[in-house]
Amino acid sequence: MRLATWNVNSIRTRVTRTVEFAVREDIDVLAMQEIKCKPEQFPYAQFEEAGYHVEVHGLNQWNGVAIASRLPVTDVRTAFDGMPGFAKGHDGPDAPLEARALGVLVDGVRVWSLYVPNGRSLEDPHYAYKLHWLDELKKATAAELAANPDLPLALVGDFNIIPFDVDNGDPDIVEGVSTHVSPEERQAFFAFADAGLTDVVRPLIPEGFTYWDYQRLKFPRNEGVRIDFVLGSKTLADAVTGASIHREERKGEQPSDHVPVVVEFGLGGAEEDDDDLPMIFS
């Protein structure tokens, strides 16, 4: 199975290049973040013409997640257990949930497309929300793996955290001043190891950025950051045979500010023989 994650930064703006990438790279499952639309606004037709079924979770023009799959999808979830909500000026446990998580089962693999809250600033309530959101995600994942230790599970998406200094090439992001690099955020990221997950891309690609801001020539100067990840359970991590970060997708007409991250793994399922999978034609 070839699994990709991509913060597309508005799917209606970038549907053509998104589908073309998925077809060109022979992606079986594509997890998207920041689709910025409601389900009824999603451009399903181009995906369907390419042989993909799409599950969408979006509430408005902000956030939003989706998963496109060439394989059958079951057990669709639009929130993980304990997932907190957020609304400006709203305190308490009943804050409305945002469209930031979408989980499915594909050929026995649990895939979550995740758009982790940004945090905004170290003093903003959104920062505390971000840490709470990550902690509940870790707890929910740990509980699922405790109940099914051999489950191949992948948490994929835009984590809005820069785990290591080598992942930060942006001089404007400074520890003690900026979000994404605070000790608390990094600790929240590393805590997923306690839930049984590992970054399955880093061992194969130790360096490389996945996001470059549109402003001040960040991309030409390579002042990027690494914030898009695939975290896998032991069963999935042990099956990974390849990974890639597609930097070239930051180029061209109307690119997203993120690029796709792809992993390939083989679990021995019947669908590993893809001779009968749908094709796209030029």
- Per-residue pLDDT tens over the stretch 107-119: 999 999 999 999 9
Q: Which two tokens stand for residue 196?
A: 């049984």
Angstrom CA distances, 176 to 53, 120, 158, 185, stand at: 43, 14, 22, 12
> Does residue 282 register a pLDDT over 50?
no
Question: Under a CB-based contact definition with an 8 Å cutoff, are residues 104 and 55 in contact?
Answer: yes
Rounded Cα gap, residues 27 and 178, in angstroms: 35
- Confirm whether 277 is domain-assigned: no
Strand ranges for 27-122 from DSSP E: 29-33, 53-57, 65-69, 73-77, 101-106, 109-115
Instruction: Report angle CA 18, 20, 26 to the nearest 5 degrees.
Output: 100
Closest by CA position to 173, among listed 118, 228, 254, 115: 118
- On whether residue 280 sits in a domain, the answer given is no
220 within a domain of the structure (yes/no): yes
CA distance 158 to 4: 12
Tell whether 63 is covered by a domain: yes
Kindly state the DSSP code that residue 274 receives in the 8-state scheme: -
**Encoding tokens for residue 186?**
């990094």
249: left (phi over 0), alpha (psi -120 to 50) or beta: alpha
Residue 33 has pLDDT above 80, yes or no: yes
Domain-embedded: residue 279: no
Give the three-state DSSP class for 118. Answer: coil
How many domains, in total, are found in the chain? 1
Q: Which residue has the tokens 């020539």?
A: 217
The one-character DSSP state at 98 is P
| Residues 137, 85: Cα–Cα separation, whole Å | 12
The verdict on residue 46 lying in a domain is: yes
Averaged pLDDT for residues 112-134? 97
Structural domain includes residue 281? no
Q: Evaluate if residue 270 carries a pLDDT over 80.
A: no
* Residue that is written with structure tokens 């030029």 in the block: 282
**Alpha-carbon span 12 to 225, nearest angstrom:** 25
pTM above 0.85, yes or no: yes
pLDDT band, very low/low/confident/very high, at 94 (cuts 50, 70, 90): confident
Q: What is the mean pLDDT of the chain?
A: 94
What pLDDT, on the 0 to 100 scale, is given for residue 275? 42
Distance CA 195, CA 172 (A): 32
Q: Is a pLDDT exceeding 70 seen at residue 204? A: yes
Per the domain annotation, does 282 fall within a domain?
no
Other CB atoms within 10 A of residue 139 CB: 15
| Domain CATH number, residue 82 | 3.60.10.10
Range of the domain at 135: 2-272
